[in-house]
Amino acid sequence: MLLKFAVKNIKRSKLMSLLTVCEMTCAAVITLVMVSSVLIRYQYYAPFQDMFESRGLYCEFSSAANKDFYGENKAEDFLADDDILQYLHSPERIAACNIVSCGVMTDMGLLAVNNFSYNDEFIRRFTPNLKSGRWLNESYKADCIEGVVSKNEYGWENGSRVEIDLGGKKYTALVVGVLEDSSKIVGGFAVHSSNDDFNIFFNPYDHEVEQEPLMIFSSQYLQKLGAVQGLFSGCLITYPESVSDEQLKADQQQLAKYGCAYSMTLTELDKNSKQYLYRHLYDMLPIIIVIAVLAFVSSLSSSALTTRSRLRDYAVLCVCGMQWKHCVLIELIKSAVLAAVSLVLTIIAAVCIPQVLSVSIIKSWISIGSVAVIVAMYLLVSIAAPYFIAQTSTPKQLLYR
């Protein structure tokens, strides 16, 4: 019965109801976009946050780490993953990108392909955006050579099998996933500044720019097969908290001897990263607060206006046997119906906007929570305004006016 009266009230004030739905939808969508703009940045920091916050080094190698860097630089002298750790002051762990000496075979001969490999630390922590398929399994879970490929002109897609040559031995790699073009991956060279943050750790792989497709493997799985790999750009090395600044500086100098073209401490990298995230959050926060305040004021005004216009109708209902408190519930149910319609429109907008505009909306509990706060605030106002207005009069007073 109360729902029936609530729907009738919506029909009687169609324009006000339409404006309320539009207002709530706009507030929810704008909030989603603002929150997503912060989460988009944080999603690249979060997987490695504990490593960024550790004592350690971030390194980029000019070509590939080589223990005979000033000599002949033969491929068999490349240093991969754990190899580099033996030359440093008791590091704890390494998360690294490697370049792989790997030939991709076809009937036409060898193909031009960039070959990267990640150790299990990377594979477990970070999954790039995929167009199809899945990300790599960690080495101990894989039962074959798994590869993820970028956009390519060779027809490789999820499920394709590619013949590869690892140091004279032929193997078949199974393509388990395809990267979205321009998807950010770990590795590649970044443009540096005085305030380098976690963004230098990730670089978009654009097929049109690189001119060659990319294949990514598990470095630890390839290591079992004797593949030649060398540390490449994008390497995190963490140490115990007890490591001194002097030891870190000494290790930076040592790494330079093996081809490290750029390095910085993780302490500095993390400091710059948090400043970057907080700066963007502070930029977005005033906009979100203003939207919330406008939505609150507008909801209060519309709720008060519709309640006042229906007071005499509620008085008649009370004379007919309805309790006065139920009149307040009618307004709440009406608001809940409008909020439900607004939520449906918000979901539709969240799906359509990224496809039409170059705007990303991150689906997360924080995004859902921000919209839930707007809806809860609207419903709170919707019951508060009618309650206080109803307290100022009785059904008898309203009928005798």
Instruction: Look at the block and give the residue holding tokens 């080094």.
Output: 57
Per-residue pLDDT reduced to its tens digit, 99-157: 888 878 766 666 778 889 998 988 999 999 899 999 999 988 888 899 999 888 888 88
Residue-level pLDDT at 2: 55
Most confident of 81-95, 136-150, 298-312, 334-348: 136-150
- Span of 17-21, 76-80, 346-350 with lowest mean pLDDT: 76-80
Q: Is 67 helix (H, G, I), strand (E, B) or coil?
A: coil
Per-residue pLDDT reduced to its tens digit, 272-312: 999 998 888 888 778 777 777 777 777 666 666 666 666 55
Residue-level pLDDT at 314: 57
- Spatial distance between the Cα atoms of 150 and 166, rounded to a whole number of angstroms: 20
Residue-level pLDDT at 175: 93
- Span of 82-86, 103-107, 162-166 with lowest mean pLDDT: 103-107
Domain boundaries, the chain: 2-45+275-399, 63-258
Per-residue pLDDT reduced to its tens digit, 227-247: 888 888 788 999 998 889 899
Residue 398 has pLDDT above 60, yes or no: no
Residue-level pLDDT at 70: 63
Residue-level pLDDT at 100: 85
Instruction: Look at the block and give the residue holding tokens 């439900």.
Output: 340
Residue-level pLDDT at 216: 92
User: Residue 287, exposed/middle/buried by CB under 10 A (0-12, 13-18, 19+)?
Assistant: middle
Contacts of 29 (CB under 8 A, 6+ apart): 346, 349, 350, 353
**Helix, strand, coil % in the chain, rounded to nearest 5:** 55, 20, 25
Element (H, E) at 268: helix 266-319
Average pLDDT over residues 64-87: 72
Report strand pairing: 103-106 vs 109-111: antiparallel
Average pLDDT over residues 93-100: 85
Query: Per residue in 76-112, is it b (16+ CB within 10 Å) or e — as a string?
Result: ebbbbbebbeeebeebebbbbbbbbbbbbeeeeeebe
Provide the mean pLDDT of the chain. 79
